[in-house]
Every structure is written in C-alpha cells, then in structure tokens.
Amino acid sequence: MHVLLLGGTTEARRLAEMLNAQAPHLRVTSSLAGRVASPRSLPGQVRIGGFGGADGLARWLREHDVDALIDATHPFAGTISFNAAHAAAVTHTPLLALRRPGWVPVEGDDWHPAGSLEEAAAVLPTLGSRVFLTTGRMGLAAFAALDELWFLVRSVDPPEAPHPRSMEALLERGPFDLDGERELLRRFRIDVVVTKDSGGSGTAPKLVAAREAGVPVVVVRRPPVPEEVPVTAEPEQALEWLIGHLDGTDGIVA
C-alpha cells in the first residue's frame, strides 16, 4: 500500500522514520516543496517540487495508486493544505493533517501580532532598530524598504534580493538551544525579533531568550487551513490513524 507524505517539517521526518521502522511493508513517498537546496535525507522514496495545483495533486494520487495522504507541511504552506483537501475529496483518499500547535504567550512576553509579513514590517520602526528576522529567506522583500533598520536574517540557504540593505545573513538549520539564542541576542545587540508562529520546540528558544531580555517579538499569525480535515499534532497518533485506515479498522485520532 502506498502513502504520500507531504513533508518538510520535523514532524514529517519523524513520521517517515517511524513508518520505515514500524511499517516496512508500506510504500512511503515523502514530497518536498524544494525550497531548501540540500534537504536532509529521508527514508523511503522522495519527490521534490510542486504538483501543479489541486488537480495536479489529484492526478498524482490516481496515477500512483495512493491509499492514504498525510499533510505534514509547514503551518505557513497554506496553499498546499487546501490543495490536499480538494485532491483527497475528489479521489476519495483518506487524509490526515499532522500539524504542530501554535505558540502561546506567557507572562513576561511582549508579543505584537501581525497578519502578514507586510504588517510586521510596518510595525517594526516603532519597536526597535536592530532586528532578528527569523521568517526565512522567502518574503524578505516585505522588509526591503526599511533602510533605517539593521537586520540579522537567519535562514538555511543564502537570502536572495530583494532584501534589506543593512543586513547580515546567518546560515543555520535548527533546532536551536536557549544558550545559543541568548548569546545571539547579546552579541548582535538585538532589540526586536520577528517570527512566524511556526510552533514546535525546535525554534521556540528564541522566544524564551527574548522574554528574558525584555525584547519585543512580532509574531506573524498563521494563514487559514481547511477546517474539515482531521488533525493531530503527534506523529505517533498519525501512525495509529494511518495503520487503522490501511488495515480497515479506521484509526481514531484523539
């Protein structure tokens, strides 16, 4: 039986590894968008690139005899989630979303929500002048006109223009630890942080470091996702659901 795993996240990797170890009889294809030049290796088959929209994904599901679909894409890859919901519906393919919960502010946080990168850029001049920008290399154009600010941009691959004129690139791949994030804020004299609400623990230490240092954080809210798709936050529950559907017992996600 064939499982298509729309991946690119830590949770998707964990699920692929679990399927390889615990369900070796399944054929698993992990699909990556191709936005990272050198993705980490994955067990099973790997395809890179888009499908050509919802209809293209539906066609791929049919042509490759996919028995179940897991949407474990990044919380900000909203379009593919809607495409997956449409493709699963028209092909009658069981679909589960493996989606990490968003972050929740705690006492001491100075968070400033934004509905988009453009909204985040608009509020920045009122909050600080030395920005730690952790939204990835995509979308830097939204900050390109802020010539009066200095940016530290962290991404896996080198940023491409258009981007802020006063900028230093920090090429790193998470997860990141708290001591390292504390040192980064101190060394670069950061006075405001910008992040997407990606959730998860791998990049959360920057929020703790900002709270400790009294640094404000601009948090870009997640885009909408299909509400009709069942969701779990844990790869273990996704594995239970998947095996249940494939063996006919309809695994239940709590």
Q: What does the domain layout of the chain look like in residue ranges?
A: 2-100+224-246, 111-220
Is the domain 111-220 a CATH 3.40.50.720 member? yes
Neighbours of 45 (CB within 10 A): 14
**Mean pLDDT over each residue of the chain, to the nearest integer:** 91
Q: What is the DSSP string of 10-65?
A: HHHHHHHHHHHHH-TTSEEEEEE-S-SSSPPP-SSEEEES--SHHHHHHHHHHHTT
Q: Per-residue pLDDT averaged across 147-158, rounded?
A: 94
Task: Give the Cα separation of 99 and 221 in Å (integer).
Answer: 15
- Per-residue pLDDT tens over the stretch 115-136: 999 999 999 999 999 999 999 8
Indicate if the pLDDT at residue 160 is higher than 90.
no
Please report which confidence band the pLDDT of residue 223 belongs to, taking 50, 70 and 90 as the band edges: very high
Tell me the pTM: 0.86
Main-chain dihedrals φ then ψ at residue 90, nearest 5 degrees: -75, -20
Per-residue model confidence (pLDDT) at position 216: 98
Which residues have C-beta within 8 Å of that of residue 102, sequence separation ≥ 6? 75, 197, 199, 222
Domain 2-100+224-246 fold: Rossmann fold (3.40.50)
Domains 2-100+224-246 and 111-220 share a fold: yes
- Per-residue pLDDT tens over the stretch 189-206: 999 999 999 998 878 999
> The tokens of 172 are what?
């790193």
Task: Give the Cα separation of 8 and 51 in Å (integer).
Answer: 15
